[in-house]
Amino acid sequence: MNTLLLKDVVLDGKVTDILIEKSKISRIGSGIEAPGAKIIHGAGRLAALIPFYNTHTHTAMTLLRGYADDLALFTWLNEHIWPAEAKMDAHDIYAGTRLGILEMIKSGCCFFNEMYWFPHEAIRAAGEMGVRADIGLVHLALPGSTTARSAAQIREDALALAKELPPGVRIALAPHAIYTVCESALRDVTAVAEELQMPLHIHCSETLREVEDCRREHNDLTPVAYLDSVGLLKENTLLAHCVHLTDEDRKIIAGRGAVISHCPVSNMKLCSGTFDLQAALGAGCRVTIGTDGASSNNNLSMVEEMKFAALAAKLKTNDPTAGKDEDVFRCATLNGAAYARVNAGFFEGADADILLVELNHCRMVGDYNLTANLVYSADSSVMHTLICNGRVIMEDHHVPGEEEIIADARRCCDKFRR
């Protein structure tokens, strides 16, 4: 990895230089010289920030963007999404994942936590484009299901995938949900994750129906209590959605150090309910933000997701002081980075994940509060340059290969047209 020098960028309101060597920030200060380094000039008009970390998505669903909207959940799934997904082959997943990564990079995001099919294709796409990713090995295992795998098979699949991973890419184990994975399979997956020290990624308490079914089937346990009873809740576990939590659920999640991925747009679009951000933060839960897939959003923009998170929190509590910009911004950046095991920030030795944002932009004036401007005003057009793991993956709004990525994805859409 080459040396990279950010000249005259704005950090905490002051103009400074940032030197990056071997994927880490090695120096911050004025007048840094680094002969031979690649230089990016901030000219006092690019702010340096921690990028976004998208903790729950199904990236290749970009191929189904706008394919079926404004429908009741089961019509949407049964008549549109599942039949289309059944046609997806490995190349579709590669193409759709590249398209989604392109979109995430363009909106300032350097990490995604993936739960979808053909994980080796997602690994390839992430590696080529230089983003970080946790690629989930999806597990569906209802009794009698043909996709059920033994603990030994899961272990074998996970180890096979984990061979020769690109930098910044990890394998996660992704049991889909409590209503698609039976208890013994959940225990198997948990044991393998423990042994291989891999993260776990599962949908949890997304809909009221899931909660009601769980209580009926599992001795009145909530989905959170049930997952805890099988040992799945740990610091390395990501629970997607968590819309319907009890106070006791929040205590359990906080106590285990498990991580919530709050997906406000998807929850609102599918009428799943509204996550209580204030209650989760108040209980000490580790809250991060995810976009979910493009067919229930319909984009992968973490900057837009922050605004929905802030406003949904106010609506939920009828309190305009809920969902504060700085809280939401921390969820989308630092908290996500912590989940991704990235030592993000601006200090010597920090992992060099850095987003440069245009300050000379109509959405960024008034310029009293950069966090408020990012959460409430910005969109992807303010995202200038993105550095992930010390590598420049977008420079001056341009991502290498973007025209070809878009063209390839569009070709893949042809097979889904009706």
Range 234-273, binding its own copies (CB under 8 A): 265, 268-271
Smallest gap from residue 76 Cβ to its own copies (A): 8
The DSSP string of 181-193 is: B-HHHHHHHHHHH
The span from the CA of 186 to the CA of 214, in Å, is 14
Smallest gap from residue 283 Cβ to its own copies (A): 20
User: Is residue 406 a contact point for its own copies (CB under 8 A)?
Assistant: yes
Restricted to residues 47-76, the positions that interact with its own copies (CB under 8 A) are: 62-67, 69-73, 76
Smallest gap from residue 264 Cβ to its own copies (A): 9
Q: Which is nearer to its own copies, 27 or 398 (CB)?
A: 398
Restricted to residues 331-360, the positions that interact with its own copies (CB under 8 A) are: 360
Smallest gap from residue 276 Cβ to its own copies (A): 14
User: Is residue 329 a contact point for its own copies (CB under 8 A)?
Assistant: no
Q: b or e along 323-351 (b: 16 or more beta carbons within 10 Å of the residue's beta carbon)?
A: bbbebbbbbbbbbbbbbbebebebeeebb
Near its own copies by CB under 8 A: residue from 297, 333, 385, 389: 297
Q: Are strands 52-57 and 46-49 parallel, antiparallel or unpaired?
A: unpaired
Smallest gap from residue 233 Cβ to its own copies (A): 29
Smallest gap from residue 356 Cβ to its own copies (A): 16
* CA contacts within 13 A on the Cβ side of 106: 17
The span from the CA of 60 to the CA of 68, in Å, is 15
Restricted to residues 71-100, the positions that interact with its own copies (CB under 8 A) are: 71-73, 76, 99
**Which H or E element spans position 392?**
strand 391-394
Q: Which is nearer to its own copies, 102 or 131 (CB)?
A: 102
125: left (phi over 0), alpha (psi -120 to 50) or beta: alpha
Restricted to residues 166-205, the positions that interact with its own copies (CB under 8 A) are: none
| Phi, psi of 403, rounded to the nearest 5 degrees | -65, -40
User: Is residue 314 a contact point for its own copies (CB under 8 A)?
Assistant: yes
Smallest gap from residue 322 Cβ to its own copies (A): 8
**Burial of 418 (C-beta count, 10 Å sphere; 0-12/13-18/19+):** exposed
Q: Which is nearer to its own copies, 179 or 416 (CB)?
A: 416
- By CB under 8 A, which span of 139-147, 194-202, 277-285, 408-416 interacts with its own copies? 408-416
Q: Which is nearer to its own copies, 135 or 270 (CB)?
A: 270
Q: CB of 280 within 8 A of CB of 293?
A: no
Q: Which is nearer to its own copies, 70 or 164 (CB)?
A: 70
Q: Are strands 132-139 and 169-175 parallel, antiparallel or unpaired?
A: parallel
In which residue are the tokens 């096979």 written?
160
Smallest gap from residue 22 Cβ to its own copies (A): 31
